[in-house]
Chains A and B, each alone.
Chain A
Amino acid sequence: MAEPILECRGVSKHFGAVQALYKVDFEVRPGEVMALVGDNGAGKSTLIKGIAGIYPFDEGQVLFEGKPVKIHGPKDASKLGIEIVYQDLALADNLDVVANMFLGRERTQNRFIIDESSMEAAARETLAGLSVTTLQSVRQVVAGLSGGQRQSVAVAKAVMWNSKVVILDEPTAALGVAQTRQVLDLVRRMADQDLAVVIISHNLHDIFEVADRITSLRLGQAVDLFTTSEVTQQDVVHSITAGEMKFVPGMEKEGV
């Protein structure tokens, strides 16, 4: 079994009086799909935003490839090879697929002039590598794409940057059955290419189909770490709603 590529050790985060995360351990290995589950407000988004460096954790350590790292913003995260696909994909509707995949990181010939053909070639290669075949043309404007296609473009964008860890926040929440299928296939293929994939989802059915392991959060604490093949959906539901918390809420200050 591979060593974890990304590991959080005892990370905490509070917003005012709200303890959004408390001493959470979390890890993901190359080539696996790690699901992150939990009720609304459990702290899932806070965990990935902390990893992305959108805000710092109050305490705890983040290790990347075994070494402690400080991530101060999305730029630092991308430099390490961590890419996040947020729930609202943030694609520019008026730009084509290639332009969106390279937005803000356009390849240029001499700092100013865009190198369209090399960008297009790279975009095609990435999409083909992920077997995204439903796109008519990479020069199609994103406004004309379906929800599943848009998600595919956002994921391909994340994968293209030599990323090692791709984090997806509720990638199927807004999709129909067939399009969810597309995205789940895509997630599986990413892991097969030895990427570490973290997927946040409320849909246990999806998770059981695609995830290798499951981390469940409850009220800001990591309550269980399952291997998907060894548990049932009931076990996970129980963990989400009534999992045993290691630290007693309200007792944090005294130390455990």
Chain B
Amino acid sequence: MSTPSTDEVPSAAPKRKDPTTFAEYLQSWWLRVQSGDLGFLPIIVGLIIIIAIFGTLDSRYFSERNFTNLLLQMAPFATIAIGVVFVLLLAEIDLAVAFNSAVGGVIMTLLLRPDDPGLPWPVAIAIALAVTTFIGFVMAIVITKAGVPSFVVSLAFNLGLNGVVLILMLEFSNSGTIRIADETVKDISNAFLPDVWGWILGLAAVAAYGLSEAVKYRTRSSQGLPNKPFGILGLQFGGLALLILGAVWYANIDRGVPFVMVVLGFFLLFWSFVASRTRFGRHVYAVGGNPEAARRAGINVDRIRIIVFMIGGFMAGAGGIVLASRLQSVATNSGGGDLLLNVIAAAVIGGTSLFGGSGKVVSALLGALVIGAVASGMNLQNVNAGVKFVVTGLVLLAAVLIDALAKRRQAASGVR
């Protein structure tokens, strides 16, 4: 009865064990890439190309000042895009994030107005975040209970929240602008860490990564599971350390590491942990990949949807606060312009699939970096806003095409 089973499918042809050597690991990685599992490869290559092009066009592109400016500019986009990543993981969309973020910024700014009511900043921020999270909750209730596509619901909210921002601004200001009346809040996007603290936090981040990898290595070997080869682990650790410490060093030549990077770094770590290490995160991916399978596995699909839209609202509010802090004010046009385009594009360019179920939280950062790098290069070239839109649009198109091609590649490599 037990004749050795064979398999007629080419992709599964060689019965190889888990890769144990450096070369084997690289080889299996390359096989994965070929079968459409690209990971961060396209974005890293893209970022290098963008930097190379603009760097050759203008050497000021590489200046320390330009680097810290880039960090300051992209931080609010990346913050909002983290929420967008979660929503896209479910194969849903939230077109209301931009104006929801503006609602957060406006409410916080209003609550901080001296004596009117002049709330302490932690309270003002907490209330603003509660409101934007609640808006996400209400959207999710409509989407899940009425079964209306998120595209339409969030489009309606996009319009409605635009109105809310206008009403609030017209009600409380004559000039169309309200300045933030709290130094701490302004510092979020305008202060820089002292050099020493930049180094301490950078080293702490590197050490924490090393430690968590070491713990993982030990638990895996204690359970008799294969580990990545040492060479690969070292390369990954070294690469990350070089990147983080190099960035700290470069920022310190200028004004230092922007404080907002600490905020963004915290969000990235926290939400990455939620996405990749918790049951909730696992269920988000499952619902995005196959809702029916998730349902049969006993996962409460509606509950996952609701929480994800709340995360979208929360991170929109957080990004709105970071953006308001950077501009030190809110205005009638807050949340408008190309903000929506930029945050959704950031998530997608960073490698989050529009088809749901695939993407990582850190893609919010990578995508925002790409968009920021393009924008900053264009600014140095003194091109007008039109050209900037066209180029950003092309980058987004490239990202979507890569996603679609990778998807097709994956479908072809497995026999369905």
Contact = CB atoms under 8 A, between A and B. Distances in A.
Contacts of B219: 117
A94 B285 contact: yes
B357 interface: yes
Interface of B: 1-3, 5-9, 11-12, 15-16, 18, 28, 35, 37, 216, 219-220, 223-225, 277-280, 282-283, 285-286, 288-290, 292-294, 296-299, 356-358, 410-411, 413-416
A204 interface: no
A120 B2 contact: no
23 contacts: A88-B292, A92-B285, A92-B294, A94-B358, A103-B286, A103-B293, A113-B277, A120-B225, A136-B15, A141-B410, A142-B414, A143-B411, A144-B35, A144-B410, A145-B12, A146-B7, A146-B11, A149-B7, A176-B8, A178-B8, A182-B5, A182-B7, A185-B3
Question: 10 closest Cβ contacts across the A-B interface?
Answer: A104-B297, A94-B289, A94-B357, A146-B9, A92-B289, A90-B293, A103-B297, A182-B5, A92-B290, A104-B298
A124 B223 CA distance: 11
A134 B12 contact: yes
A146 B286 contact: no
B414 A144 contact: yes
A25 interface: no
Nearest to A184: B1
A147 B290 contact: no
Contacts of B3: 181, 185
B8 A144 contact: no
Bin the interface of chain A by size. Answer: 35 or more
B415 A146 contact: yes
A108 B281 CA distance: 13
A108 B277 CA distance: 10
A173 interface: no
Contacts of A178: 5-8
Given A113-B277, A135-B12, 12 more contacts: A90-B297, A92-B357, A94-B358, A104-B294, A133-B15, A143-B414, A144-B413, A145-B12, A146-B8, A146-B11, A178-B8, A185-B2
A99 interface: yes
Given A121-B223, A131-B2, A179-B7, A114 B293 contact: no
A95 B285 contact: yes
Contacts of B413: 143-144
Given A106-B279, A113-B277, A120-B225, A90 B296 contact: yes
A182 B86 CA distance: 38
Nearest to B355: A94
A141 B289 CA distance: 11
Contact of A136 (B1, B12, B37): B12
Contact of B18 (A91, A112, A137): A137
Given A95-B285, A114-B282, A179 B357 contact: no
Interface string A69-80: 000001100000
A148 interface: yes
Nearest to A132: B5
A93 B290 contact: yes
A225 to B, nearest CB: 23
A202 interface: no
Contacts of A86: 296
| Chain B CB within 10 Å, residue with most, of A143, A188, A189 | A143
Given A94-B285, A143-B414, A118 B223 contact: yes
Nearest to A104: B297
Given A146-B415, A178-B7, A117 B223 contact: yes
A114 B11 contact: no
Nearest to A100: B293
A105 interface: yes
A145 B5 contact: no
Contacts of B7: 134, 146, 148-149, 178-179, 182
A135 B5 CA distance: 12
